[in-house]
Amino acid sequence: MKPVTSQESELDGQGVTLDVSVWRGTSEGGGYQRFEVPALENQTILDVVSWIQHYADATLTYRFACRVGMCGSCAMMVNGQPRWTCRTHVKKVLKAGAVQIGPLRNLPVIKDLAADMDPFFDKWVTAGGAHAPSATRDDPIPPVDPQDAIRVEASAGIECINCSICYAACDTVAGNPDYLGPAALQRAWTLLNDAKHDAHDQILDAVSGVGGCHNCHSMGSCTVFCPNDLDPMSAIAGLKRETAKSFFRRRK
């Protein structure tokens, strides 16, 4: 496909442009298309993609919502690495004036840069990722010591924004379609350590099946790429430890 230039742009002031390759297509197939985008101050990858849709090619599809790293909708592959694009400054990823942007890995593509995140959320639920209440709205809120070692373990993974970046980074997910993946397993670990959760044994069962935590090879890409500095790898190790213990416990 032919590169599109920025002649129509009102923003084109500085004359410096970025060489941007963007993946276009659907689950049926596609390829990279090049665009020239004006380089501007404080520009994020999401801004670059938005500029292309606003001024160069009205048919470009992508997804975002919050613009500030809270909703986890804008993740894409940037130069082959999964990233939140609303918080990725162009300067951080630019290589010789060029950058390549593709849809998030390990998920089906809907169109262009928008991936179908349903498999990711289905696995979240399969891993037992929904809280099971041990009290009702008519009961007082149970006191919980925030410094308690087990609570600290639960709190460690609580700030996950389910952006699927770890899921895209993990090669085990790529090779094993049943694998629940780092985010879902981390959620399971958080709930396992949540004193208020009522279904601890169900979690151990949910993460011990064919797609469970035992498929993880501790390759650590999840932890390396998580934009919120969370550590799913260690959470998964925790699940392995607890399931291993239960393996002996339940045999007895």
Partner 1 sequence: MLNLRLYMLQRITALIMAPLTLGHIAVMIYAVQGGLSAEEILGRTQGSIFWFLFYGSFVLVVATHAAIGLRVIAHEMTGLTGRALTGFTWGTGLLLLAMGTQALIAVTWPAGMT
Partner 2 sequence: MAGNIDRHDTDILILGTGGAGLFAALHAQQAAPEGTKITIAVKGLIGKCGCTRMVQGGYNVALGGGDTVERHFMDTIEGGKWLPNQDMAWRLCEQAVVRIRELENEIGCFFDRNPDGTLHQKAFAGQTADRTVHKGDLTGIEIINRLMEQVLSRPVEKLQEHRAVGLIPTKDGSALAGVLMIDMRTGRFRFVRAKTVLMATGGGPTMYKYHTPSGDKTMDGLAMALRAGLPLRDMEMVQFHPTGLLAGEHSRMTGTVLEEGLRGAGGQLLNASGQRFMFDYDGKGERATRDVVSRGIYAEMRKSNDPDQVGMFISMSHLGPENVRAKFKGMVKRCEDSGFDLAGGLVEVVPTAHYFMGGVVVDVETRTALEGLYVAGEDAGGAHGSNRLGGNGVANSTVYGGIAGDTMGVDIRSMTTLRDPDEEVLAAEYARATHPLSRAPDLVQPLRNRLQEAMWDDVGVMRTAQGMRRGLERISAIGEDLMQVGVAAENLAFNLTWHDWLNMASLCEVSEVIAKAGLARENSRGAHYREDFPEAGAMEASYFTVAQMQEGNVNVTREDIDFSIVRPGETILPAGEPETLVAAQ
Partner 3 sequence: MKPARAHPLWLAFVLHRVSGLALALFLPLHFWVLSYALTAPEKLNQFLSFAEQPIVKIAEFGLIFLLAVHVFGGLRLMAMEWLPWSAPQKSLAAGAVGIAVLISGTFFLQVV
> How far, in Å, are 5, 109, 146, 172, 188 from residue 151 at the CA level?
54, 38, 6, 29, 14
Residues 190, 157 contacting (CB under 8 angstroms): yes
- Alpha-carbon Rg for the chain, nearest whole angstrom, is 21
Alpha helix (H) ranges present in the chain? 45-51, 90-93, 118-126, 149-156, 165-169, 171-175, 182-192, 200-206, 221-225, 232-251
Structure tokens at 220: 């650590």
Binding flag, residue 210, partner 1 (CB under 8 A):
yes
Binding flag, residue 239, ligand F3S (CB under 6 A):
no
Range 174-193, binding ligand FES (CB under 6 A): none
Residue window 212-251: x/- pattern of binding to partner 2, with contact defined by CB under 8 A:
----------------------------------------
Range 141-180, binding partner 3 (CB under 8 A): 169, 171
Range 128-147, binding partner 3 (CB under 8 A): none
Range 61-120, binding ligand FES (CB under 6 A): 64-67, 69-74, 84, 86
How far apart are the C-alpha atoms of 73 and 200, rounded to whole Å? Answer: 30
Least distance CB 54 / ligand FES (angstroms): 16
Residue window 35-64: x/- pattern of binding to ligand FES, with contact defined by CB under 6 A:
-----------------------------x
Q: What does the binding site for ligand SF4 look like in residue numbers (CB under 6 A)? A: 72, 160-166, 182-183, 186, 226, 228, 230, 232
